[in-house]
């Protein structure tokens, strides 16, 4: 009998933590010279979410043993995504988890849902950790190791949208929901079409992408679905329960 997502993640040492609780544990784990580095890298990542700030923050966290804290901050989120995944038939299906981070969802897919899981991540330190955990690991869509590979599912769980240009939160303002330019504005700020185009060739015929982001706004997902349909994807909205997302094929 497979474990629930909650039970599985707790077995991995995770527990629900808010950000203040995370920071307290970070302070207890890091020697004084490293704590200001963590704070600086986090400020840079939050304030300027681009590839190099994302990579630098996660490289530092993994190399200093903080991955479990970041995942614990997302505990309920991971459980909701896990519940969604557990509703699919994934046993012996080949899945590529892009932006796999600490590998907690990848582990749940492999150990509890019986999937064959490969992972990709920008962070070199994350890739080392994931390789040690036994996953076939890639850096980006340009990784030579991906040549010729195809997958039944590509999972993008809170990864593609980490780098975005929505600093003024225009997409979250209710009055913009009916703006006819909303889907185009969303694409300019999040770039889902361009980001997914780079991975599409790794889908088997009949394969699907599972896209999740921590945004609970119907207008966001309606706009994302419309934008991706305009670029040639078929898009079904998932949610709101247990989690918002898109099934793309």
pLDDT tens, residue by residue, 69-108 = 999 999 999 999 999 999 999 999 999 999 999 999 999 9
Tokens representing residue 144 in the block: 């030579």
Q: Measuring CA to CA, which residue among 72, 86, 122 is closest to residue 101? A: 122
Checking DSSP bridges between strand 151-157 and strand 94-98, what pairing results, if any?
parallel
Backbone angles phi, psi at 104, to 5 degrees: -70, -45
Q: What is the pLDDT of residues 120-141, one digit of tens each?
A: 999 999 999 999 999 999 999 9
> Average pLDDT over the chain, rounded to whole?
97
> Which secondary structure element, helix H or strand E, spans residue 13, and what is its range?
none
| pLDDT beyond 90 at 31 | no
User: What confidence score (pLDDT) does residue 128 get?
Assistant: 98
Res. 162: pLDDT tops 90 = yes
* DSSP 8-state code for residue 101: T
Specify the residue for token string 């897919």. Answer: 109
Would you say 57 and 44 are in contact if contact means Cβ atoms under 8 Å apart?
A: yes
Alpha-carbon Rg for the chain in angstroms? 18
pLDDT band for position 225 (cuts 50, 70, 90): very high
Cβ atoms of 174 and 231 within 8 Å: the answer is no
pLDDT score at 169: 92
Specify the pLDDT at position 76. Answer: 98
112 is written with which tokens?
A: 């509890």
What is the C-alpha separation between 75 and 69, in angstroms, rounded?
9
pLDDT for residue 32: 87
**Strand ranges of the sheet holding 203-212, from the earlier edge strand across to the other edge:** 136-138, 116-120, 94-98, 151-157, 203-212, 245-248, 235-238
Percent residues over pLDDT 70 in the chain: 100
Q: How far apart are CA 77 and CA 244, in angstroms?
A: 11
Pairing of strands 116-120, 94-98: parallel
Look at residues 158, 231, 237 and name the one whose alpha carbon lies nearest to residue 198: 231
In the chain, the domains with their CATH numbers are 7-73 (no CATH), 89-248 (3.40.50.150)
Bond from prior residue into 242 cis (ω within 30 degrees of 0):
yes
**In this model, does residue 216 exceed pLDDT 90?**
yes
């Amino acid at each position: 009998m497979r474990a629930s997502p909650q039970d599985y993640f707790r077995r991995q040492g995770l527990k629900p933590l808010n950000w203040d609780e995370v920071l307290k544990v970070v302070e207890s784990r890091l020697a004084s010279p490293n704590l200001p580095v963590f704070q600086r890298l986090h400020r840079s990542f939050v304030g300027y979410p681009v590839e190099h700030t994302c990579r630098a923050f996660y490289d530092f966290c993994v190399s200093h043993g903080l991955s479990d804290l970041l995942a614990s901050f997302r505990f309920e989120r991971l459980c909701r995504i896990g519940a969604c995944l557990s509703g699919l038939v994934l046993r012996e299906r080949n899945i590529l988890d892009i932006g796999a981070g600490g590998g907690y969802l990848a582990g749940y897919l492999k150990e509890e849902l019986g999937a064959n899981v490969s992972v990709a991540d920008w962070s070199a330190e994350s890739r080392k950790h994931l390789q040690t955990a036994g996953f076939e690991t890639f850096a980006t869509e340009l990784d030579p190791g991906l040549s010729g590979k195809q997958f039944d599912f590509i999972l993008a769980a809170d990864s593609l949208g980490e780098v975005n240009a929505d600093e003024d939160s225009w997409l979250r303002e209710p009055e913009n929901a009916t703006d006819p330019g909303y889907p185009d504005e969303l694409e300019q700020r999040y770039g889902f079409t361009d980001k997914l185009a780079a991975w599409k060739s790794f889908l088997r015929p009949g394969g699907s992408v599972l896209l999740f982001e921590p945004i609970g706004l119907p207008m966001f997902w309606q706009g994302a679905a419309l934008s991706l349909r305009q670029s040639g994807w078929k898009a079904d909205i998932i949610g709101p329960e247990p989690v918002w997302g898109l099934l793309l094929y």
